[in-house]
Amino acid sequence: MPKPRLGQHFLVDLSFLGLITKSAELSRTDAVIEVGPGKGVLTKALLAQAGMVLAMEIDERLANRLHEKLGHSENLEIRHQDARRVDWQAVNLELRQKGYKKVKMVSNLPYYLATQMVIHLLATQDGCERIVIMVQEEVARRMCAQPGGRDYSAYSIAVQYYGKPSFIKKVPASAFQPPPRVSSAIVCIDRRSTPPIELSNPEYFFILVHGMFMHRRKTLRKCLQGVSGMPTLLVWEKAIAQAGIDFKRRPETLDMGEVARIVTALEK
Ligand code: SAM
């Protein structure tokens, strides 16, 4: 029986596998990390093209089944492991030390951990070069959204600060068994080697972005009102003016550079 709390929706429409592996641009010099191999349909496709696959599965029963099914493959390593507890930098280093030129993450992720894990992976120093994942469609759209768009959020800014995401394809719920309640989508994210903007204090930048987007449809002047831990109205207004941005703009229309200008003015 699939365990809903572990996001166990298994891919049964295998026509999407080709698109996933194509987006990952795999070669034998790549090591691939797969979180949640489940019954191994994607694992098998990855093994056919990558140098090796490191598959991490939290469900012991599924990890054992995968051993029985694909354990004979020399280029597969299966770990019965909770991916939320992984030291990604150490894993990346370990795979590179084995001689692989690139480390990529290719996974059909359980919905409940996708948003946090992607940021964590992207922020990892010397982490995966490319991430190709199946996630909830709404999350995929937020990752890729541009200023002014319906899905643009603090999360879009965070993902795009660390990486360059592209929306590959929507995947209907009927492609999975059991079908989830919502659609999914395949996203490809290339990790940036250098961030697109210079920040003296990235942590503060993200705290502020989060605060601003709590009321993303209010004007810039009013968006922080009632949000705890944010600058006072006077300090805030001064910073917006110094950054040369119109008070009547809404956070949802600001690009990353404009937000960075406000943060820099605040820091001064
Ligand atoms: N890759 C398979 C497929 O495409 O059919 C299964 C994908 S299913 C959406 C998610 C998989 O992630 C399940 O096998 C589930 O047991 C596993 N999983 C859930 N939470 C996990 C965690 N914290 N660490 C590792 N694997 C996890």
- CATH code: domain 202-267 is 1.10.8.100
How high is the pLDDT of residue 33? 98
Q: How many CB atoms lie within 10 A of CB 233?
A: 12
pLDDT above 90 for 268: no
What percent of the chain shows pLDDT beyond 70? 100
Residue range 48-102, pLDDT digits in tens: 999 999 999 999 999 999 999 999 999 999 999 999 999 999 999 999 999 999 9
Q: Render pLDDT for 16-59 as a digit per residue (tens, 0 to 9).
A: 999 999 999 999 999 999 999 999 999 999 999 999 999 999 99
Looking at domain 4-191, its CATH superfamily turns out to be: Vaccinia Virus protein VP39 (3.40.50.150)
Residues 126-146 as b/e (b if ≥16 CB within 10 A, e otherwise) read: ebbbbbbbbbbbebbbbbbbe
Using most ligand atoms within 8 A of CB, pick from 86, 108, 112, 133 the residue to mutate for ligand 1. 108
Beta-ladder partners of 49: none
Pocket of ligand 1 (CB under 6 A): 6-11, 35-39, 41-42, 56-59, 62, 82-84, 108, 110, 113
Give the pLDDT score at 217. Answer: 85
In which band, very low, low, confident or very high, does the pLDDT at 240 lie, cut at 50, 70 and 90?
Answer: very high
What mean pLDDT, rounded, does the chain reach?
95
pLDDT given for residue 226 in this prediction:
86
Q: Domain residue spans in the chain? A: 4-191, 202-267
DSSP letter, residue 100: -
Residue range 234-242: mean pLDDT, rounded = 94
* For residue 191, pLDDT beyond 90: yes
Q: Quick one: pLDDT at residue 187?
A: 98
Residue 216 pLDDT exceeds 90: no
Contacts of 26 (CB under 8 A, 6+ apart): 32, 46, 49, 50, 104, 106
